Structure 1
Amino acid sequence: MLEVQGLKAGYGLSQVLFDMHLSIAQGQVVSLIGRNGMGKTTTVKSIMGLLKPSAGSIRINGTEMRGAAPYRIAKAGLGLVPEGRRAFGTLSVRENLLATATRGKWDLARVYALFPRLLERQDQLSRTLSGGEQQMLVVGRALLTNPSLLILDEATEGLAPIIREQIWSCLSTLKAEGETILVIDKNLKEMARVVDRHHIIEKGRQVWDGTPLELAAQPELSQRYLGV
């Protein structure tokens, strides 16, 4: 579904990605992991068209999309849960969910079933929600675009443990339903519940990929590349 090859990107004169590779097949849940500042979010921005790469290839369902506008990336089937939540603060929960919704298997009723708290808060302005509720909101908003690939960039960062557990349970449900997901996170233990394959990034390059079991069997990899 998604294949990234030889991707180079950066900001002005500062190059961040040097030779990034990443692939995701239909129905897979894969991770992109690494220490802070290694290029994870830059990779996501490049894939989503928010940053124009200087070289390389980004193919979505076989079609070259490198450098395409973000709306074209979204129309091609990619949905993003961005780092930092970014709900529309002056819109209600319901208005946030419907603002970018498209027709498909995900509708408002299914999102409310996945996150009952959003149904309870549907008439509140999103800026009045707790951080955890806002995270549920942006996940639900992304699902309502009915993406072929859902990308979650640090979706559990800064959340209370009980809310993090709800997000991971949500991802387990999505995996069981055959959704294709790219997750960027730091919690290896929780990711092991849902991830089929890890990709480790170091200084703008993929340096290792394998299953959670293979990573757990090589603790030196975590020590070397993840700082844990």
Structure 2
Amino acid sequence: MLKVTGLEAGYGVSQVLFGMGFEVPRGSVTSLIGRNGMGKTTTIHTILGMVRARGGDIQLEGESITALQPNTIARRGIGLVPEGRRVFPSLTVEENLVATSRPGGADGWSLERIYDLFPRLKERRGQFAATLSGGEQQMLAVGRALLTNPALLILDEATEGLAPVIRADIWATLRRLKELGQSILVVDKNLKEMAPLVDRHHIVEKGRVVWQGSPQELAANEDLAHRYLGV
């Protein structure tokens, strides 16, 4: 599905990624984890073309997308749930959902399927996004990304700052998406909540992957978790 090889990127004279590499197999849930400032979000932004790669390659479905513009990459099939939600506050819930939607065929995501997934959004379909709670805005951000009918869904700190009960709802939704075959790349800090969902973790340290393995393997290695994650 997604293959990142030897990726180098940064901002101005500062290099952030130093040979970043990992894969997201089709239908799997893959994570990037690590302390703040280690390059996880920069990796996401480089995959999306928001930061230009200085070296390496990014392939989606076997074709390089490294040099493409962000709008072209999005149309190739990558949907993003960004850190901080970033919904359109002056648009209604429904306007937010349809603003960037793309047809997905008979089995694709539609407005009604999103409302089935998030009944709360259907109840608030006419409300301005600015009036929603943080949890409702996150549901809206997930729904908006799904309505682009992505081959790969990327979530960057999607549960950050949410109440535990709302986090549980988001993780339950992601488990349902996995059951439906959605390929997912997730950046998050909540290892315990991710464990039932993620197939493979990748620990990011100073712009490169320093370890990869299953949630069970990570849980069994306390020294590793303490060294790189501070847990």
Flag whether TM exceeds 0.5 (same fold): yes
Aligned-pair distance for 1:88?
Answer: 0.7
- Partner residue, 1:127: 130
Question: Could you tell me which residue of structure 1 aligns to residue 5 of structure 2?
Answer: 5
- For this pair of structures, how many residues does the alignment match? 228
- State the TM-score, normalizing by the size of structure 2: 0.97
Once residues 68 and 127 of structure 1 are traced to their aligned partners in structure 2, the CA distance between those partners, rounded to angstroms, is 33
**Which position in structure 2 is the counterpart of 1:26?**
26
- 63-72 or 35-44: bigger deviation: 63-72
Q: Deviations over 1:140-164 (max 9, x none)?
A: 0000000000000000000011110
Deviation, structure 1 residue 67:
2.7
Aligned equivalents of 1:67, 1:118: Cα separation in 2 = 36
Superposed CA RMSD = 0.6
Unaligned stretches of 5+ residues in structure 2: none
Residue 122 of structure 2 aligns with an amino acid whose one-letter code is L
**Which residue of the partner structure matches residue 108 of structure 1?**
111
Secondary structure of 1:76 counterpart: helix
Aligned-pair distance for 1:179? 0.6
Aligned identity (percent) is 63
Instruction: Confirm whether residue 201 of structure 1 aligns to residue 204 of structure 2.
Output: yes
- What amino acid does structure 2 have at the position aligned with 1:33? I
Q: Is 2:159 the partner of 1:156? A: yes
Alpha-carbon distance in structure 1 between the residues aligned to 2:166 and 2:178: 18
User: After superposition, where does 1:1-228 map in structure 2 within 5 Å?
Assistant: 1-104=1-104, 105-228=108-231
**C-alpha displacement at 1:41, in angstroms?**
0.2
CA distance in 2, matches of 1:168, 1:25: 20
- SS of the residue corresponding to residue 87 of structure 2 reads coil
Runs of 4+ in 1 over 3 A off after TM superposition: none
